[in-house]
Structure 1
């Protein structure tokens, strides 16, 4: 199955692609996948390797009072030379305030380095 075919099956096949604890929703031409913190790096690798999201755009976090820090990475699958649409993906996870630790994304997307430092 090609990256475009896998991507086209989301959000319905989110657990098959990202694991049992993943959820997904589509709104305003943006697919959002939520994964548990333990699956963060694996989810980013899946986005890159299986869905073709090789373009890293940004990474940031939001403090959700009473919940934790919601960390988000926006990545995209760019069209090939033949044209097509950019497929955008937001990968999110939430880490609790009392255990605000998450593995680095730098090994998956080198461009995450600055974004992680600033976040």
Structure 2
């Protein structure tokens, strides 16, 4: 999520015809920060083996993946930024797949042994 925000910021700041602090850039940075916060909260809850953490990670990864796809569509005329956005999309995609697989649910349901 943070890398996706960085990608959008690079695109906006790299284009000389745009305002440096346009609403698009500020919205992207604020939205990326909120999304990253939810992703970190979900990861922490997931490490505590809570189902809410898995749900937060799935929702945030799906939103981040859709944001990355939107970035690819937005910068389709600039090949270097499009390649960067596609590479950025791999992280949320892998995270989404690993959070959705049934083994993650079994891992959450399993209780650690107490010695």
Tell me, yes or no, whether TM beats 0.5. no
Give TM-score, length-normalised by structure 2. 0.30
Which structure is higher in helix share? 2
TM-score when normalising by structure 1: 0.30
- Structure number with higher strand proportion: 1
